[in-house]
Amino acid sequence: MKNNVVMMFVAILMMTSCNAQTGHKEDKKVNLEEMTAEQKASYSYGILLADNLKRGNFEGLDAELIGQAIKDVLSGNETLLDVNAATVEWQVYAQSQQVKQQEKDAAKFNENKEAGEKFLEENKSKEGVVVLPSGLQYKIITKGDGPIPGPNDKVKTHYHGTLIDGTVFDSSVERGEPISFPVGGVIAGWTEALQLMPVGSKWELYIPYDLAYGARRAGEKIAPYSALVFEVELLGIE
């Protein structure tokens, strides 16, 4: 359930109300080759809307009612709700679906959560590993002697990120290009670690799921409740 789905829904209502046309046209099937540019755009927009709804795992939506609402607005017919009321109804529904999905994910990925907790429990007793009160763990690979960034600084880093089984999900090292970002603009585990690292340091971070992406999925490889491992080199403060 993403905000862009909600915004797309609202955008449809607002756009169609502003560009309402009079008269009601019957549905008619045409081949792609026979479509005008406007028809292709209309069909394409419908695909994008449906794809976003499907990806959002929304349950119980009635495709016919969605289509009827769009037709009513386009044709200038009176709708059961105005745009503001429709926005509220959609937001209430979307939030309820988000809660349901989180509950499903919690059950589905409980095994993933337990694996991360077991990994961190075993890892904290290894030589050189420091455990912070937040649950973040780190090991110093290279000790730097430069300044330490603050919460409002922008830093330049090289990193290599893996799951606890060693699966690589992102790596500036493999891309051969460091990345810059605000200290406060990343996951909590990174934000905490960066404010302890002198420039020139290279640390290995072991990040609990609640200091990473929590119950959310991130990309194709990071499932909900995933503990993450990063090798981070702090190259400088910009």
- Residues annotated as part of the active site: 159, 169-170, 187, 213, 230
3 state SS of 198: coil
- The two tokens of residue 191 are 């934000």
| Contact criterion met (CB below 8 Å) for 27 and 80 | no
Bridge partners (DSSP) listed for residue 165: none
Longest dimension (CA), the chain: 76
| Contact criterion met (CB below 8 Å) for 227 and 209 | yes
Helical pair 3-18 and 63-75, crossing angle rounded to 10 deg: 30
Phi and psi, residue 145, nearest 5°:
-130, 15
3 state SS of 234: strand
Residues 6+ apart with CB under 8 A from 123: 129, 137, 206
